[in-house]
Structure 1
Amino acid sequence: MLPSLFIAHGAPLIAIENNEYTQFLNHLGRTLPTPKAVVLFTAHWESTTQRVSEIDEYDTIYDFGGFDPKLYQIKYPAKGNNEISKEVKDLFSQNGIPFEVETKRGLDHGAWVVLRLLYPNAEIPVIQMSVNPDLSPEEQYKIGKTLKALREKDILIIGSGGTVHNLGALKMFDDNGKVDSWALEFDDWLAYHIKNWDVDSLFNYDSLAPNAKFAVPPYGNEHFVPLFYAMGVADDTRKATLLHRSYRYGNLSHSVWQFE
């Protein structure tokens, strides 16, 4: 049975960088059992109703600006799988989760940057999923929980976002390897409660975790909430492992959690 994953997609530049984090994701893709498909919740696709992609072949979306021109030349022509999209829709219907089908939207960089590092040949079918940051963490967790049966069918479920993602606090021109203490304190608190599967505390992270308002600002919680979707998938087993944690630009976290 495959785990579910929470993967930080960082800044778009990791798509063309060779560093500790990109090397880790390359290795992770080679060491995980090859999935039949990937169902991926991306922070860069927000919707008030859960959306499920049903697409034959995805376009590549460049939903960012001002970066190296090389980024805009990258293509990730992943294919969909309508049979697995139907399985997702069936599970939502059976569990009372409202959803809508998306037949046109391409892969945003929250999806293709991660997928390209894991599976550079775009050979794994993808079902892209939206997130709703206005839902409560309990509701986000529940959506992930409804998909747990897919793990037994060799389908990998990923939440793509970031635990510490405050664009206003980034030091893009001072990437000296130093990490802000407030980011470490928040991620340390998070790691303790994730490893203990303390969902009561996690669901109230915004009032309990140190520096929560700075690590997950109100305008940036869409990057944090994919964590709850990914955790919910493994609700029946409840084992969490921190596979990687590093930082860029002073506080942008590159965390990878495995739930199994």
Structure 2
Amino acid sequence: MFTHSSLFISHGAPSTVIDDIPARHFLAGLGARLPRPRAIVLISAHNIARQTVVGTAAQWQEWHDFSGFAPELYQLQYRPQGAPGLAMQIAQGLAAAGVPVAVSDDPALDHGAWVPLKLIYPLADVPVVTVSLAFPLDNLHHWQLGEQLAAVLPPDVLLVTSGSITHNLRDAFARMSPTATAGSAEYTLEPYAAEFIADTYAALNTQGEHGWLQWEQQLRHARRAHPSIEHFLPLLIARAAAGTQQATPQVQPLHQSMVLGVLGMDVIGFNLPPMAQ
């Protein structure tokens, strides 16, 4: 069984890159602590295709795939180099493993990709390859994708998956108001979110493939924490890439905070090499 280093990031709103919140400050310091990878393979919850698509762009460009935020957010750029050779190597390896795969040189990076990367590597000096989620959005396919990526990725390439440990936007929007502040009732911790996150961490340390394929039934409040599962699948992929019970992964909780009392901003490492303090 292959294992690989991976990093799961709860990317939050597009404004995470400018908001004065704990997650932003943590991510802004993370790049200096991580051993520098040769390249990053990035899987975003907002990059979904009919089949697995590997991004072969030679030069990436930020995509402002959102509206209604502060004007300054739309002025931000993030334009790292791609790694077309590595991308083709990944695509060929996945195809050889039986994954229906396509390639695309579309240079757009959605906010689930460029927002956390701009905080971690602000100089955009680490090459990027993207891999999409695929329809149908099911647990088995994406668990297997994580395993297959572990088998094909070189050891000096970091797998980064970007989603959210909880993602009920209806509950989040219900707590928003023009007068809300960090200490107001709109921002008090919602027990269901805390319980789901606690169950998730417990499962990360104990469950293998079968348990993760049933996470919607086994983790308390799963349906409320994730009315749709695209933001949880990146965590599933990162966990699968880290190994099964026959190769127990090193789970490294790196950051925990909450936005609006319901949106977890957790960052979790798997099998990461030693980090600077």
1:196 to 206, 228, 241: 206
Matched residue, 1:222: 230
Q: How does 1:1-260 map to 2 (within 5 A)?
A: 3-132=5-134, 134-149=136-151, 152-170=154-172, 171-173=175-177, 174=180, 175-176=182-183, 177-217=187-227, 220-235=228-243, 236-260=247-271
RMSD: 1.7
For residues 20-78 of structure 1, the C-alpha deviation after alignment (integer angstroms, 9 at most, x for no partner) is: 21121122211111000000110011112001101111121011110111110000011
How many angstroms does 1:196 deviate by? 1.7
- Number of aligned positions between the proteins: 258
* Structure 1 unaligned spans of 5+: none
Distance in 1 of aligned mates of 2:248 and 2:157: 16
How many angstroms does 1:135 deviate by? 3.8
For residues 70-89 of structure 1, the C-alpha deviation after alignment (integer angstroms, 9 at most, x for no partner) is: 11000001110111101211
TM-score normalised per structure 1: 0.93
Contact 1:2 1:33 in 2 (8 A): no
Distance in 2 of aligned mates of 1:64 and 1:141: 29
How many angstroms does 1:241 deviate by? 1.8
* Structure 2 unaligned spans of 5+: 272-277
